[in-house]
A and B are shown apart, each in its own frame.
Chain A
Amino acid sequence: MSEHYYNAKDLGKFGNIADFQKELAGKFFSYYDEVFKDSELSAREKSLIALAVAHSVQCPYCIDAYSADAFEKGWSEAQMMEAVHVACAIRGGASLVHGVQMMNKVKEIAM
């Protein structure tokens, strides 16, 4: 077992997951490549969405990859930070909206 759970260099080894299960890895990477192509949404727009989602799932590899990718694709620092705030607002909102459930329960049991 390595000393740390995350190693930045492991991002470059992502493709190695095929060493243990080639067929499923192939299908995943093929799907992944297809998802990020220009289509109804541009590859550029998808990159910004990926950046926001990366923050939401708190994947350091994805944050590393899509910070670079979004910047390369021309998004500004301010636009990228706004995307992170969108992720944050949805995550925060997701917690807070459960406050309604809490209120419902308290009202149910309170005199």
Chain B
Amino acid sequence: MKSLKAEHNILANANDQLEIIEHGISGDFSLVPFQQKLEQSNLFPLKPTQLETLQVNIGKMCNQICKHCHVDAGPDRKEIMTKETMMLCLDVLQKNPLLSTVDITGGAPEMNPNFRWFVEEISKLGKHIIVRCNLTIILANKKYHNLPGFYKDHIIEVVSSLPFYTQDRTDRQRGNGVFKNSIKALQMLNDAGYGKENSGFILNLVYNPAGAFLPPMQQALEKEYKQSLKQRHGIEFNNLFVMTNMPISRYLDYLLTTGNYEMYMEKLVNAYNSTAAAKVMCRNTISVGWDGYLYDCDFNQMLELKVNCQSKHIVDFCLEDLTKREINIGQHCYGCTAGPGSSCSGSVA
């Protein structure tokens, strides 16, 4: 399996993708515009509340090719954040104490050759650091085997995808053998003290549906995850974040090729929740792309919808300007407002 980009798939083009999200593959599909829903909820134009998190995507390279990946990440993606851009991020973090959390994502962020240096420098600034670790990277190469110790040294919050507590659903979404290696990696993290109650080393897992459906309730599923992983593999973790799959990139490709796109979008629209809409993560987060451009969220980043203000690049970062901006919205935003809502920290409502 290759990335959509390597396959020259039409969905690798952001404009084409936006057109398809809006009108379907046939061009005559339409649903209630997201803007209309926000207007009814008195949330339009959608504005930031207080910016607290800088989410930095340090590259699209990944050791896995997951079927639902909104980044279209994979081993064939070469886009990687340079040390110079990282230095610009560090400068912004130093000058803006309100940005208290740095959320590092990818691809597999650990594959960026400057990943560890970047983490060490952020750590010196006293920021809370989140790393979105895909687990299997820890076993992918000997040089990554000591990652649990590295995370621990910098008191990093580790957030890891494990789409289900059984092998079949996990491997169907993330590739053959991923579940087995994810379990090994989780055991290594546990051995380092991660996920153990009161250890202070936070290990959160992420569930997302392996198919064209919405996730179940977070609390109930977390209980099942904890029970099953403990009983079968002796694994402990802190919280389960339930996420909805966004209808973009590879997941959009899956929806279209299986004929599920319209049904899925209707589900998202029917499940619109104004309480969740008021708490969407783009209201307190700024997303930085591998090349330093700024976005409302990681999803808008993949759709190349840059922030709607003057501060379009990390070099021009102005917190005041960004806080006053109007957030770019589209039909894909229904993915964050369905049911209990969805964010990088799971349900929001």
Contacts and interface: CB of A to CB of B under 8 A. Distances in A.
A72 B209 contact: yes
A18 to B, nearest CB: 17
Interface in A34-90: 38, 42-44, 68, 71-74, 76
B213 A38 contact: no
The secondary structure that dominates the B interface is: loop
Contacts of A38: 220
Contact of A76 (B166, B211, B220): B166
Interface string B196-231: 000000000000010101111100110010000000
A72 B168 contact: no
Interface residues of A, number: 10
Contacts of B215: 72
A70 to B, nearest CB: 10
A43 B224 CA distance: 12
Interface of A: 38, 42-44, 68, 71-74, 76
A38 B214 CA distance: 18
A44 B216 contact: yes
Chain B interface size band reads: 10 to 19
B217 to A, nearest CB: 8
A42 B216 CA distance: 12
A44 B224 contact: yes
Nearest to B219: A38
Most buried by B among A38, A73, A74: A74
Contacts of B169: 76
B224 to A, nearest CB: 6
B216 A74 contact: yes
23 contacts: A38-B220, A42-B220, A43-B217, A43-B220, A44-B216, A44-B220, A44-B224, A68-B213, A71-B211, A71-B213, A72-B209, A72-B213, A72-B214, A72-B215, A72-B216, A73-B216, A74-B164, A74-B216, A74-B221, A74-B224, A76-B166, A76-B168, A76-B169
Closest 4 interchain pairs by CB?
Answer: A72-B213, A73-B216, A72-B216, A68-B213
Nearest to B166: A76
A43 B219 CA distance: 12
Interface in B154-175: 164, 166, 168-169
Nearest to A47: B216
Contacts of B221: 74
B42 to A, nearest CB: 26
B174 to A, nearest CB: 17
A74 B166 CA distance: 10
Contacts of B220: 38, 42-44
A71 B164 CA distance: 12
Interface string B100-122: 00000000000000000000000
A68 B213 CA distance: 8
A73 B224 CA distance: 10
Given A44-B224, A73-B216, A74-B216, 19 more contacts: A38-B220, A42-B220, A43-B217, A43-B220, A44-B216, A68-B213, A71-B211, A71-B213, A72-B209, A72-B213, A72-B214, A72-B215, A72-B216, A74-B164, A74-B221, A74-B224, A76-B166, A76-B168, A76-B169
Contacts of A73: 216
A49 to B, nearest CB: 16
A78 to B, nearest CB: 9
A26 B224 CA distance: 33
Contacts of B209: 72
- Highest count of chain A CB atoms <10 Å: which of B169, B214, B216: B216
